[in-house]
Structure 1
Amino acid sequence: MEPVSTCKLFGAVRAVSGICNAVPLIHGPRGCAYHIGYLLTARGGKRIRVLSTELTESDVVFGAADKLKKAIIDADRTLKPELIAVMSSCATSIIGEDIGRAAEEVKGEIDSKIITISAGGFESNQGEGYLEVMMTLIESIAADAKPSDEPSINIIGEFRGGPDLNHIVDTLGRMGVSVNCVLTSGSTVGDIEGIASAHLNYSFCDVSGIGPCRFLEEEFGIPFIHHPIPLGFSNTLRFYEVILEHLSIDYTLQDEVSEYAEERDRLRSELEGVRVGIVSGPTRAVALAGFVTELGMKPAVVAMDMIGEYTLENLSGTGVRSEVLVGADLSELEDALIRNEPEVILGGVAETRFSESLGAPLIDVMHGSALTAGFRGACVTGGRILEAVKSRSY
């Protein structure tokens, strides 16, 4: 009764909102746009613009294709975006409003590129929303292209920008690897058009990234890797190793490792035996489980809102033997945390209620402003855990 995941529309809006100069336009009541925009702005640390046709009761009963067409034209002329992504909502999906036809009828009157996404919240979860947006973008915008002269990769299924993505891109750049396109965080329409020029795709989302990677491999011959993501010391090392190996780049990683080895060892000596509750999406949950394990901590429970094709296999590879929950509602999650008694919780703001009731400090590793990726992010996150554990003991 208390779900831990959200709807397809949320995922679709989040995926589009990461694209530079793109706007999501929801064909539905105003609340869908307001609440999704509010939450994404609060969690991402920057304004997220979400447009709405603001349907009334009469619109839902009789249809509002003309209102949608006017909203598309107004958005194009007022905001001048490179891309408008028209999305249905629960209301318009139920009445069968043909958003594709409406978009097609005004395509000649606008300068923006336009795509349409069936995104009724009841259709699926947020993962399906991410996936459908990425597949639609690739199928409708990507063009055949020759491989770039310099080694380059695409990062697929990354919707978190900010310090994490900047750190990864900068570090890869020092190694001689350019990031051709990030689908979708920070990408431009031009980046998506040229996505086929990369030499390698790397999926950052086990739920929504694998499908686009497979499509790009089949259509353009670009191979892909899906594990691990660079969260934690060992995961980060392996992430860079597999990319460098695939691209045949001779780069010594030892200097990168040595810079943070002393701090890693210090954290391990002070955190050994600490019990940790992990509440996250599947790909980050697997990475976090490996990270806390390598620092000698014990994952007490690993809770994921959903899983992808490789999630459980990758989690098994971390050696974690804790209780694992998939798609459990909030009451079940709370019961599991009470049973397993973590000393600290790694999650997001939604886990505040558990932190307060259990007296276990919450480390928010989900906020867009937090640095969690790479060797530096591992030091920052490990330091935050240590600080929380010490504060709990006072």
Structure 2
Amino acid sequence: MSWYDMGPVSTCKLFGAVRAVTGIKNAVPLIHGPRGCAYHIGYLLTARGGRRIAVASTELSESDVVFGASEKLRDRIIEVDRTRKPDIIVIMSSCATSIIGEDIGRVADETSELVDAELITVSAGGFESSQGEGYEEVMMALIHKFCWRMEPSSKPSVNIIGEFRGGADLREVRESLSLMGVDVNCVLTSGCSIRDMTMIPAGHLNCSFCDVSGIAPCRFLEENFGTPFIHHPIPIGFSNSLRFYREVLGYLNLDYPINEEFSAFIEERDRIRAELEGLRVAVVSGPTRAVALTEFITELRMKPVLVSMDMIGDYTLENLRGVPGLRSEILVGVDVSDIEEAIIRTEPELILGGLAETRISEVSGAPLIDVMHGSSLTAGFRGAVNLGARMCGAVYGDHDCY
């Protein structure tokens, strides 16, 4: 018997659009749709991120859906601007308003002179595509709105494109780059302001942190502003982090003793490796993080027996094939029941996943480490030590692996 009925492992375009907007400083996502769309997406993002996510809504009634509600949208834009005083309001259609053809762009144009906030519109009917396209469309709308040609900054600088969660990992990457003499102009969209976004064209290099939604914006910026980009997996793990920093330093022609910094962590890596070598691990994650986690597992001489991703991007499989010695079952976009059956079949001793894998972990007996939504550090050399220690703790309890 299955622990779960069949169900999707990815969500809709509207969810992705809202998530991208909630990372922007003083921005409000406004859904032109029934109240449930805003409530459930806000509730889920709050549960996953540990902070309250407020999503505005026009709260359409049945008659609104039948006869249209442009006036209600106009009034709600003005109310949000007056009460919340945001810098940006991103107005999104929902399934209902996309189906009836509500012209949110026209309403925004007619209302723009009545509010202080910048207005951006995104067609985000859930049926239109997946969350990846929602992330991408919001980023492209922001780039079109706030970016124009300018001279590169005088100090070496980069932009991080397609990063939607902040916390310890983003702080680690920013602080590490700063020590190397590299400024981060903008993280699109985690923690960015309008000013940050206007500085994107001044960057010397763009770094895509999302293989699904980050590539198209990076290509657009390269074609229109001449900024090169890299599509390196998220810097998780010792060797992967080393390659990421080397690549950034190489593009910017900077001399920094990154090899010496890496060498200082080799002893700790080897101690963790001695404890975890041979352990069977399943990875259930988004594509860019899955590639980095899988490489880290092999670096510690553990055995990745299953890699399950909700979707893949332009370079995902290429990067995954580059993981040395990978011998793993790979699933892409399968039902929850398929993931469950694969967990049973491959018998991992540890699962690296998210909140959705909690029940599978309980029933299978394999401990779970949430690497998708937690605030614990996983990026960079220090993140590799921390994640390695968490894996030891999950498998061996209070045993100190180093």
TM-score w.r.t. the length of structure 1 is: 0.98
AA partner of residue 72 (structure 2)? K
CA offsets 1:20-72 (integer angstroms, 9 cap, x no match)? 01110000111111111111112112222210111111111111000000011
**Structure 2 partner of 1:34:** 39
Once the 2 structures are TM-superposed, how far is the Cα of residue 368 of structure 1 from its aligned partner?
4.3
3-state SS, counterpart of residue 16 of structure 1:
helix
Q: Distance in 2 between the 1:190 and 1:207 partners?
A: 25
Once the 2 structures are TM-superposed, how far is the Cα of residue 391 of structure 1 from its aligned partner?
3.3
AA partner of residue 363 (structure 1)? I
1:334 equivalent to 2:350? Answer no
CA offsets 1:301-325 (integer angstroms, 9 cap, x no match)? 0000000111001000003120000
1:278 equivalent to 2:289? Answer no
Greater shift, 55-64 or 147-156, is seen at 55-64
1:349 equivalent to 2:358? Answer no
**Structure 2 partner of 1:391:** 397
Once the 2 structures are TM-superposed, how far is the Cα of residue 297 of structure 1 from its aligned partner?
0.3
3-state SS, counterpart of residue 155 of structure 1:
strand
CA offsets 1:338-366 (integer angstroms, 9 cap, x no match)? 11000000000000011011000000011
Given that 2:14 and 2:134 are in contact with CA atoms closer than 8 Å, whether structure 1 keeps it comes out as: yes
From 222, 225, 228, the equivalent of 1:223 is 228
**Structure 2 partner of 1:110:** 115
**Structure 1 partner of 2:3:** none
Q: Distance in 1 between the 2:19 and 2:194 partners?
A: 16
**Structure 2 partner of 1:306:** 311
**Structure 1 partner of 2:79:** 74
Given that 1:160 and 1:368 are in contact with CA atoms closer than 8 Å, whether structure 2 keeps it comes out as: no
**Structure 2 partner of 1:361:** 367
Q: Distance in 2 between the 1:135 and 1:235 partners?
A: 28
**Structure 2 partner of 1:381:** 387
Q: Distance in 2 between the 1:245 and 1:299 partners?
A: 31
From 199, 208, 216, the equivalent of 1:203 is 208
Once the 2 structures are TM-superposed, how far is the Cα of residue 214 of structure 1 from its aligned partner?
0.2
3-state SS, counterpart of residue 324 of structure 1:
strand
Runs (4+) of structure 1 exceeding 3 A deviation are none
Given that 1:228 and 1:238 are in contact with CA atoms closer than 8 Å, whether structure 2 keeps it comes out as: no
AA partner of residue 382 (structure 1)? G
Q: Distance in 2 between the 1:126 and 1:392 partners?
A: 38
**Structure 2 partner of 1:324:** 330
CA RMSD after TM alignment = 1.2
Given that 1:157 and 1:183 are in contact with CA atoms closer than 8 Å, whether structure 2 keeps it comes out as: yes
Unaligned runs of 5+ in 1: none
Once the 2 structures are TM-superposed, how far is the Cα of residue 392 of structure 1 from its aligned partner?
11
Once the 2 structures are TM-superposed, how far is the Cα of residue 259 of structure 1 from its aligned partner?
2.9
Given that 2:10 and 2:310 are in contact with CA atoms closer than 8 Å, whether structure 1 keeps it comes out as: yes
3-state SS, counterpart of residue 284 of structure 2:
strand
Closer/same/farther in 2, CA of residues 392 and 122 from structure 1, 3 Å limit = farther
3-state SS, counterpart of residue 378 of structure 2:
coil
Aligned length: 393
Alignment of structure 1 residues 1-394 onto 2, 5 Å? 1-319=6-324, 320-391=326-397
Given that 2:42 and 2:53 are in contact with CA atoms closer than 8 Å, whether structure 1 keeps it comes out as: yes
Q: Distance in 2 between the 1:24 and 1:65 partners?
A: 17
Given that 2:233 and 2:289 are in contact with CA atoms closer than 8 Å, whether structure 1 keeps it comes out as: no
Given that 1:361 and 1:392 are in contact with CA atoms closer than 8 Å, whether structure 2 keeps it comes out as: no
TM-score w.r.t. the length of structure 2 is: 0.96
Unaligned runs of 5+ in 2: 1-5
Given that 1:236 and 1:374 are in contact with CA atoms closer than 8 Å, whether structure 2 keeps it comes out as: yes
Once the 2 structures are TM-superposed, how far is the Cα of residue 229 of structure 1 from its aligned partner?
2.0
AA partner of residue 123 (structure 1)? E
Q: Distance in 2 between the 1:329 and 1:232 partners?
A: 29
Greater shift, 55-64 or 37-46, is seen at 37-46
Q: Distance in 1 between the 2:67 and 2:267 partners?
A: 67
AA partner of residue 36 (structure 2)? G
AA partner of residue 262 (structure 1)? E
AA partner of residue 323 (structure 1)? E
Q: Distance in 1 between the 2:231 and 2:342 partners?
A: 29
Q: Distance in 1 between the 2:389 and 2:356 partners?
A: 22
